[in-house]
Amino acid sequence: MSRQLERLGDHCTNIAEDVFFIVEAHFVKHKHQKYLFNEDKNENEA
């Protein structure tokens, strides 16, 4: 059962990365730390 939950989590991660790429046109695979969402950083960019 734990393997299936891990596999489900991996599928969810892949879907989220694909959606992010469609919206932002940036690859995030293998660069998760760079794309953590930080509201303070986003406020400074605006």
Its domain, for residue 26, covers 2-45
Q: Which amino acid is at 18?
A: D
In the predicted structure, residue 29 carries a pLDDT above the cut 50: yes
Q: How many domains does the chain have?
A: 1
Query: Which of the pair, 34 or 16, is modelled with greater confidence?
Result: 16
25: exposed, middle or buried (Cβ count in 10 Å: 0-12, 13-18, 19+): exposed
pLDDT of residue 6: 94
In the predicted structure, residue 38 carries a pLDDT above the cut 90: no
CA angle (16 as vertex; 20, 8 as ends), nearest 5: 170
Q: Of 22, 11, 16, nearest to 36 (Cα)? A: 16
pLDDT of residue 31: 58
Query: Helices (DSSP H) in the chain: which residue ranges?
Result: 2-24, 39-45
